[in-house]
């Protein structure tokens, strides 16, 4: 899988209006690894690869990995195959938080964006959890329905913000809500990379606990784990990842729903396998989506739109599968 990710990344470096050959990419890579290599790289190639394509590839991979592993964790702890950061309303809540900051403040502040996105994303999942507890025995359908309601509410709230703001901020919010990597840069990469590295590492180390939590509260407690504490920890970590991703590139749905199902279908449900594979598979999937968004039309389409077009049929397939089962 890592080989496939590297291959797609190299393809992304090559493709574009300015075509770059594999030999030129290899020379560029060597010149950065060994500054004394003596290889001469054209200024335009250096600028395109270093400042445009490489930060975009890294950011797309980080976002895809983060969304996929968040979906994997949420589906495991809630024992619900329909759960994802998008379905639970975390993405929409985070989107509202970012839109609110754009409305109220004139200066771009990544920390403030992320904090607001985290607070409203956490609020969304909290409401969903409370609603599911009010209807015991029907928590699966209640969780999905509440998530859809919360998503609709925050989406309407974002539209309301757009209605009352000025034209310049409307364009900023509207373009951002599409979910796009058109403005990817190294600042975004350095912002999200430590968060994903920390949370992803914790998920991998705690993946065996996901296997235990998926057994239910009684079994988890009997095996010596604090069920509520573990659930709370995983929800906080997934909210941090989702809010960080949303603050950087806007809401991108369906990745957290699709990838866990694909990985489990191919390799089983053991989370010690599913969690790390979801990280890599999410990066591969979103890289492919990004390529489609960039080159399927003469102009670039926001990644969030392409992901939704692909994710919706898959969501219907999952519903049919559950009904048959």
The answer to the question of residue 156 being in a domain is yes
What is the extent of the structural domain holding 157?
Answer: 65-324
The answer to the question of residue 7 being in a domain is no
The answer to the question of residue 255 being in a domain is yes
Per-residue pLDDT tens digits for 79-88? 877 788 877 7
Distance (Å, rounded) from C-alpha 317 to C-alpha 319? 5
Question: At CB < 8 A and 24+ separation, what contacts does 231-238 make?
Answer: 231/77, 233/206, 234/73, 234/74, 234/77, 234/206, 234/210, 235/74, 235/77, 235/122, 235/125, 235/129, 236/122, 237/73, 237/199, 237/202, 237/203, 238/70, 238/73, 238/74, 238/85, 238/90, 238/199
* Domains of the chain: total: 1
Say which CATH number the domain at 223 has: 1.10.3470.10
**Residue 320 CA from chain centroid, whole number:** 25
Tell me the mean pLDDT in the region 159-177.
83
Per-residue pLDDT tens digits for 100-131? 888 888 766 777 887 888 889 888 888 887 88
Which H or E run contains 58? helix 54-78
The answer to the question of residue 48 being in a domain is no
The answer to the question of residue 4 being in a domain is no
The answer to the question of residue 285 being in a domain is yes
The answer to the question of residue 36 being in a domain is no
Q: Is 163 helix (H, G, I), strand (E, B) or coil?
A: helix
Confidence band for 287, pLDDT divided at 50, 70 and 90: very high
Residue 267 backbone dihedrals phi, psi, to 5 degrees? -130, 5
The answer to the question of residue 296 being in a domain is yes
Instruction: Give the pLDDT confidence score for residue 197 in this predicted structure.
Output: 95
């Amino acid at each position: 899988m890592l080989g496939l990710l590297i291959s797609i990344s190299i393809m992304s470096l090559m493709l574009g209006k300015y075509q770059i050959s594999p030999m030129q990419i290899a020379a560029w890579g060597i010149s950065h690894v060994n500054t004394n290599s003596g290889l001469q790289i054209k200024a335009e190639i250096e600028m395109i690869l270093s400042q445009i394509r490489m930060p975009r590839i890294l950011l797309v991979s980080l976002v895809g990995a983060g969304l996929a592993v968040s979906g994997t964790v949420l589906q495991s702890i809630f024992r619900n195959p329909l759960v994802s950061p998008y379905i639970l309303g975390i993405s929409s809540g985070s989107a509202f938080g970012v839109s609110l900051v754009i409305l109220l403040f004139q200066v771009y502040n990544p920390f403030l964006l992320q904090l607001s996105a985290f607070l409203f994303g956490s609020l969304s999942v909290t409401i969903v959890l409370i609603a599911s507890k009010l209807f015991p025995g029907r928590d699966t359908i209640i969780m999905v329905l509440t998530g859809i309601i919360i998503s609709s509410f925050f989406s309407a709230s974002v539209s309301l913000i757009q209605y009352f703001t000025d034209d310049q901020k409307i364009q900023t919010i509207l373009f951002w809500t599409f979910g796009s990597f058109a403005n990817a840069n190294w600042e975004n990469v350095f912002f999200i990379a430590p968060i994903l590295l920390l949370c992803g590492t914790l998920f991998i180390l705690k993946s065996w606990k996901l296997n235990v939590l998926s057994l239910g509260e009684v079994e988890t407690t009997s095996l010596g784990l604090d069920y509520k504490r573990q659930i709370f920890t995983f929800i906080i970590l997934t909210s941090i990842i989702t809010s960080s991703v949303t603050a950087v590139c806007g809401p991108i749905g369906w990745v957290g729903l699709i990838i866990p199902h694909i990985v489990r279908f191919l390799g089983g449900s053991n989370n010690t396998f599913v969690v790390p594979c979801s990280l890599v598979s999410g990066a591969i999937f979103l890289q492919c989506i990004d390529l489609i968004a960039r080159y399927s039309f003469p102009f670039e389409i926001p990644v969030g739109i392409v992901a939704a077009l692909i994710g919706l049929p898959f969501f219907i397939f999952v519903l049919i599968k559950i009904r048959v089962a």
